[in-house]
Amino acid sequence: MPLTLWRDISPIGQPLRRPTNKSPHVLIVGGGVTGLISSWVLLDRGYRVTIVSSAWASDEQRLTSQIAGALWEFPPAVCGQHTDKISLAHSKHWSMTAYHIWDGIASIPALSEASGVRMMPSDFFFPDPVDSDKAQVEKMTEIMASGVRGFYRGADIIDERGVDPAYGAVDAYELMAPVIDTDKAMGWLMELVEGKGANLVTETLNDDLVEIEDELRERFDADVIINCTGLHAQVLAGDESVYPIRGGLIRVINDGSDFPKVDAALTITADAAHSSNEIIFLVPRNDNILLIGGITEPHEWDLDLTLDTPIIRRMRQRCEKFLPGLENARLDPEYPLAQGLRPFRGQNVRVERELRRTGSRIVHSYGHGGAGWSLSFGCAQDVAMLVDEALDGIPARPMSETVFERKAAGFQRRR
């Protein structure tokens, strides 16, 4: 049974199950969306939680979780790059768990406002009929059967959204999807987990966790360590397959005065366009900001993009051709360009116990790429299950052996 809002987790600043002095203590490394939501799930199960992070969400120096487009997507996501079959099978399950929880949060006006989470039409456009591409037919069929709200397929969406017919889109479908204002959501999540009892510690760790596991557990009196460090897992998990995919988003004013207000997410995915260089990603961030994207630059570590960087100029020109009127858009004067490094890895998302050391009580959750928000609660549910296994002394196993078991077992409270 999937993790469920109100039954298993509560968006109220106190834990569903209060810990005692004898409750297990979990040390979470990483203060992004993956670390915070893993904390939330464990806190509501009655665990004591400490989060260690080198930095926290702020408006001065934004984390990757804040820079993310944060449009919920059924895998594979807009930017593509999700090719590992085991990880993809897990991710489809994870994404639907997250979908229903974000939907539940957005359904309560006060929670929606506080958290920055809204449900919004999300439209996917295709340069060829969906029926002509077997992979797209399979993906659409899975989406229709998944339990998302508001699915509709029809080429009339192209005209309804003002897409230029000359751009080449010939087919489309729509669904209701969570769209998250990440600055607001990260602040809300931090406040929430602190209210539930999490202890936040600012510290940078620069060693493989396997090498310092005993020292960390002793210093923090921790029973289990969870690694949610994104790109830094290259070091902390000794995983040389971790690499960045640089992304950039232009932020423009979306108040209806310069172009018709965009009130739906509009995308052409990399797999639909058969090219990561032809992505269209237009997402209303909040009532007044529209995100224009996107780009994928594997193995680029430097955050030195500007509005005049050629790939950013081409990105904007592509979106302006797709949606006439965008050429009149005014930049957000305070924050015109967001850029960040999506944390990918060779075999995509890893939610797995440490396998290099027998008896280790390290659990990993990293490599989410551009889908950290979309997979968040589903991954956190599996993290909680792996924590339970570690505490019960069950031997660690690779993800490839557990994909079907995890889906069937669902979420059970630890007793």
The confidence band for 406, taking pLDDT boundaries of 50, 70 and 90, is low
Determine the Cα–Cα distance for residues 373 and 182; give it in Å rounded to an integer. Answer: 9
Which range, of 11-25, 48-62, 65-79, averages the lowest pLDDT?
A: 65-79
Is residue 254 within 8 Å of 240, Cβ to Cβ?
A: no
What pLDDT band is residue 401 in, cutting at 50, 70 and 90?
Answer: confident
Q: What is the pTM (predicted TM-score) of this model? A: 0.94
The per-residue pLDDT for 177 is 97
Instruction: Name the least confident of 66-80, 102-116, 246-260.
Output: 66-80
Q: What does the DSSP assignment read for 132-198?
A: G-HHHHHHHHHHHHHT-SS-EE-THHHHHTT--GGG---EEEEEEEEEE-HHHHHHHHHHHHHHTTP
- Look at strands 117-126 and 171-180 and give their pairing: antiparallel
Q: Cα dihedral angle (41, 42, 46, 48), rounded to 10 degrees? A: -140
Tell me what pLDDT residue 414 has. 47
Q: Please list, in sequence order, all residues whose beta carbon lies within 8 angstroms of the beta carbon of residue 203, skipping any fewer than 6 positions away.
A: 52, 53, 54
Predicted pLDDT of residue 389: 96
In whole angstroms, what is the distance from residue 336 CA to residue 299 CA?
24
Nearest C-alpha neighbor of 59 from the set 165, 175, 182: 182
At 408 the pLDDT is: 57
Q: Is the pLDDT of residue 407 over 70?
A: no
Q: Mean pLDDT over all residues of the chain?
A: 93
Q: What is the tens place of the pLDDT at every residue in 306-349?
A: 999 999 999 999 999 999 999 999 999 999 999 999 999 998 89
The pLDDT tens digits for 207-248 are 999 999 999 999 999 999 999 999 999 999 999 999 999 999
CA distance 125 to 323: 12
Using DSSP's 3-state secondary structure scheme, residue 268 falls into strand
Return phi, psi of residue 145, to 5°. Answer: -90, -5
Q: Bigger pLDDT: 74 or 1? A: 74
Q: What pLDDT is stored for residue 347 in this prediction? A: 84
Which residue, among 56, 17, 70, 66, has the nearest Cα to 40 in the 3D structure? Answer: 17
Question: Using 50, 70 and 90 to split pLDDT, how confident is the model at 16?
Answer: very high
